[in-house]
A and B are shown apart, each in its own frame.
Chain A
Amino acid sequence: MDRSNPPYDEMYTADGHVRPHYASYADWLTRQPDDTLRQRRAEADSLFHRVGITFAVYGEQDGNERLIPFDIVPRVLSADEWRKLAAGLRQRVRALNAFVGDIYHGQDIVRAGLLTPEQVFCNPQYRPEMQGMDVPGGIYAHIAGIDVVRAGQGEFYVLEDNLRVPSGVSYMLEDRKMMMRLFPELFALNRVAPVEHYPDRLLENLASVAPAGVAAPVVVVLTPGAHNSAYFEHAFLAQQMGVELVEGQDLFVRNGFVYMRTTRGPQRVDVIYRRIDDDFLDPLVFRPDSVLGVPGLMSAYRAGRVTVANAIGTGIADDKSVYPFVPEMIRFYLGEEPLLNNVPTRILRRKDDLAYTLAHLDELVVKEVHGAGGYGMLVGPTASEAEREDFRLRILASPEKYIAQPTLSLSTCPTFVEQGVAPRHIDLRPFVLSGRDITIVPGGLTRVALRAGSLVVNSSQGGGTKDTWVLES
């Protein structure tokens, strides 16, 4: 993690040789004139617009939907790299599910002294409404998006576990579709593991956690509506699974069951894949001003008459203040050594961590524990003196709200930018499905920071996406 070394590049070794699993692609790439690549990229843009693969940006009220820039150079993982990563992801998600179950039942991990009671109970992500309630199969995070980066010599680090309503999987699928359309010859040259079956797996997974005794469960996708930034994905997943895309106003609770309003009267709903935050799900229990939710949903949920995926209250496990303890969770619940690295994290509630951080602000990344999407973050090495000073004051005012991590030199991947093909930093979000089994579709969403040197890959901050290939051999 020494920043004086050049970052790990996915395609090239430090001495400039092409890595073996990139050989066939690199060979093809050198034979493509820049103009052809430019033309294909323009073609991709116009296709994405027509297909309406767009997102709305918060704060831009003109109603224009924007494209997430798509990069035509794929990110390639070898079969071996993927095997190791997938094993680590399975392990991590098993432990995280066990943790959430424990927190909402006996709290063994608190008794064992690994977490303090206030870390759990004073955390705004802890939902007392979930205490003592059993969920089907003991699964809480049915869909997890685990953000992984590579640093150092290419080791994988988990940056963040997204266990609430992780998004981006539609881009994984659409990016693949686009690559196959633009460069069909590449798929003849390389054995790329398919990802198109994700919606089937997702539906299977959701049906597997239906309330006990329901033979043919009715699954729905619950969206905040067409103005939500991820609406395309909600509609896309509902369509691909062949289930209804509902809004809160389409659902109601009667006699303890959840129904949707249809042209032929009420129809019972068994599993709700919700893409709405906990706070907005049920105005009777959470935010009373929410018009997105369904009054009475929580009571039907607690009575076991409907399954909500992901479960309510999973935020307790992906909160940045809890993140540093995930390796301990793996040891505690599974009795295994973690297969994936956590980023060494300083917890500013601790006096010595605070002092160290304030003395090394220019080297560290400081994150708000409850922030998300790249907001509320200081990247020390690239921030201005004024920004660092501003953050110093904010940290001093409430140190418990922050954690600090070394600035990882994220791996780079060749990317087609204005000047041609050049290295840009990337991350990876694989999607882990937990139900009766754990399934991971090979690959995930690779996000790329399109500005030279930038480490911020979030789409809301100018990041793009790439197709992610896992080679089968």
Chain B
Amino acid sequence: MLSRTADHVYWLGRYAERAENLARTLDVQYRLSLLPHDGRSDLHGWTQVLASLGLAGAFAERHAACEPHKVIDFLAFDTSNPSSILSCLRAARENARAVRGSISSEMWETFNATWLEARAQAPSRFTALNIAEFIDWVKYRAHLARGVVLGSMLRDEGYHFMQLGTFLERTEGVARLLLVRLACTPAGDADGAVAHEYYPWSVLLRGLSAFEIFRRVSRDTVSPRRVLEFVILHQHVPRSIYRSANLVYENLQAVANAQSGETERRAGLLHAELRFGTLPTLAPQGSEPFLHALLARAADLSDRIGRDFLGHVA
């Protein structure tokens, strides 16, 4: 497959997943803001969301004060923010358009229709004040696109590069979501079972479509430590970090070429650590340093994939 084509499908996967992760991030933060809280802790949450995405500076350039609905608007609809949901949907569509001859027609039509509809409805039906509807819609379109990919795409290199992009992006997205939550959890609470942490961490689970699964498999109360362990290490939760890293490794093996050995080794090592490690051994200094290191490893893998396969220059 053409390196340029692989590059576009890889980024198609990344941007589509990024839009969904953002929607889930907004979902969590928005639900938290509906819980009883003082105004300061709500603002703190939104500030942490911006910081975790590296967007604090970009937001400050556009808005004098941090107000929740402005943050929502900035993250969901602001097309001058290249990381907004709308911008990601457009970028996914542009990448799909660039390779529309190499993906299935149904895939192209789905990504195209998602962008056209988002653009048409963003100023009227979808607004910051009515963000829950937009979040649901983005998640629904993501589910639809996933189904179309599964149901219509040839399992060739293009599919594997798209999956690579998807699961690297998911690894990062979930790690960031956990970091935001940890930054909002008082020191000392993160590792214990504290009653007032029940709501924020169960909201996080719901944002990852994992609350019911947690209930079923853990048969225990919601605590920060248990949720962290569950979201980072569980083998069968669709959005767990272990499962995302595992799929990165599997899809990487499927496209391996003469120069990708070291990249495979690094992906395999990450997969093995998460598969056989435990939280205390993996994160002896606590979950935050571990998650930051994980983000750095994901970025390294992305760079290496670019060089090994996608024609990027070192």
Contacts and interface: CB of A to CB of B under 8 A. Distances in A.
Task: Indicate, yes or no, whether A interacts with B.
Answer: yes
A345 to B, nearest CB: 39
Contacts of B112: 50-52
Interface in B118-152: none
Contact of B100 (A50, A52, A244, A264): A52
A51 B257 contact: no
A364 to B, nearest CB: 43
Contact of A246 (B2, B113, B311): B2
B46 interface: no
Contacts of A236: 100-101
B314 interface: no
Contacts of B157: 263
Contacts of B1: 244, 262-264
B210 interface: no
Contacts of B109: 50-52
Contact of A263 (B97, B100, B108, B257): B257
B246 interface: no
B257 A239 contact: no
Interface string A49-85: 1111000000000000000000000000000000000
Nearest to B93: A52
B3 interface: yes
A245 B257 contact: no
B105 A262 contact: no
A249 B310 CA distance: 13
A462 B4 CA distance: 35
Contacts of A387: none
B102 A245 contact: yes
A261 B101 contact: no
A50 B116 CA distance: 8
B182 interface: no
Nearest to B94: A226
A239 B101 contact: yes
B2 A250 contact: yes
A246 B311 CA distance: 14
B98 interface: yes
B6 interface: yes
Nearest to B158: A263
What size tier do the contact residues of chain B reach? 20 to 34
A247 interface: yes
Contacts of B102: 238-239, 244-245
A179 interface: no
A239 B161 CA distance: 19
Interface string B1-39: 111111000000000000000000000000000000000
Contacts of A238: 101-102
A50 B3 contact: no
A265 interface: yes
A401 B192 CA distance: 86
Contacts of B97: 52, 226, 235
B255 interface: yes
A237 B311 CA distance: 25
B242 interface: no
A260 interface: yes
Interface string A217-246: 000010000100000001111110000111
A263 B6 contact: yes
A471 to B, nearest CB: 29
Nearest to A235: B101
A247 B4 contact: yes
> Would you list the 5 A-B pairs with minimal beta carbon distance, nearest first?
A239-B101, A235-B101, A238-B101, A245-B101, A263-B309
30 contacts: A49-B116, A50-B109, A51-B105, A51-B109, A52-B100, A52-B108, A221-B101, A238-B101, A238-B102, A239-B100, A239-B102, A244-B2, A244-B5, A245-B99, A246-B2, A250-B2, A250-B3, A250-B4, A260-B2, A261-B2, A261-B4, A262-B2, A262-B3, A263-B1, A263-B2, A263-B3, A263-B161, A263-B257, A263-B309, A264-B257
Interface of A: 49-52, 221, 226, 234-239, 244-247, 249-250, 260-265
